[in-house]
Homo-oligomer: A and B are copies of this chain.
Amino acid sequence: MDNIVKKEDTVVLIDESLNKYIINVNGKTDKYKGVGVFDPSILIGNNYGKQIQIGSKKFWILIPSLLDKLECLKRRAQIILPRDIAQIIINCSIEPGNIVLEAGIGSGSLTIALANFVSPNGKVISYDIREDFIKHAIKNIKMAKVENTVETKIKDVTLGIDEKELDAIIFDIPNPWDAVIHAWKSLKVGGYLCSYSPLVSQMEKTVKEIKKYNFIEVKSSENIQRKMVVSEQGTRPSFQMLGHTGYITFARKLL
């Protein structure tokens, strides 16, 4: 039965505050953050979609979705949020089978999403200059079970890109303008360059550098998401709101 937790499964536990914890069912008895000390094998035989009691808390058990994986990342560097990942995926026209390069790897959030969307036959190559970041991200990538689609390299993207004919190249580095020339050389014709930066000056300098090369459809935007609150009294936008994430720049290589 597909709807029953089995020994080899990885599950997501969701508590009533909607905090999520990804758990390997065949892990050993241990202290699990947010859940407490427990033996994951007790999950076996439960129905997916049911709420169960573990210690003093209740959890729903589900098969982890892409969003669960993104929301359960152990963060080290600042991550790119799902709302911005979404824009990157669409505006780079990511398709299954694509070969995509990103730099830097951060905590692996974009890496995991890209790997999801280029599967089963594509590949994500991820550069970072810091080995510790790569090691940390690989843990998240394995948790998300996309390690077969990802290749990591300890490498400074501003010094060059090994790969050629790439479908898309995405920068999340402090100085993307220094890598634009390498992106131009390594993209296939019609391929997409993307750069994500929190600061206006980073975006500005990158756009100006991009315009020196034969790119078209150069565009930058910010994406603002506002939650709506629906309650008994009525409906209104949420008071809580994240005012800024980053500017995302796109461009497309010509010959």
Interface, chain A (partner B; CB < 8 A):
3, 14, 18, 47-51, 60, 62-63, 65-68, 82-83, 85-87, 89-91, 93-97, 113, 116-117, 119-121, 189-190, 192, 198-204, 207-208, 216-217, 219-228, 230, 233-244, 247, 252-255
Contacts and interface: CB of A to CB of B under 8 A. Distances in A.
Contact of A223 (B51, B225, B252): B225
Given A50-B255, A190-B65, A227-B220, A204 B93 contact: no
Contacts of A62: 189-190, 252
A51 B227 CA distance: 42
Contact of A238 (B93, B228, B243): B243
Given A66-B95, A236-B199, A223 B224 contact: yes
- The secondary-structure label for the interface of chain A is mixed
A43 to B, nearest CB: 15
Given A62-B189, A225-B222, A241 B242 contact: yes
Task: State how many copies of this chain the complex holds.
Answer: 4
A120 B121 CA distance: 10
Nearest to A242: B239
B239 A243 contact: yes
A198 B236 contact: yes
B89 A236 contact: no
23 contacts: A3-B255, A14-B216, A47-B189, A50-B254, A60-B216, A62-B189, A65-B93, A67-B90, A83-B87, A86-B90, A96-B117, A199-B236, A200-B228, A200-B235, A203-B235, A207-B230, A222-B237, A223-B224, A237-B243, A238-B243, A238-B244, A239-B244, A241-B244
What 6 A-B pairs come out closest when comparing CB atoms? A241-B243, A49-B255, A49-B189, A199-B234, A65-B93, A86-B86
Contacts of A93: 65-68
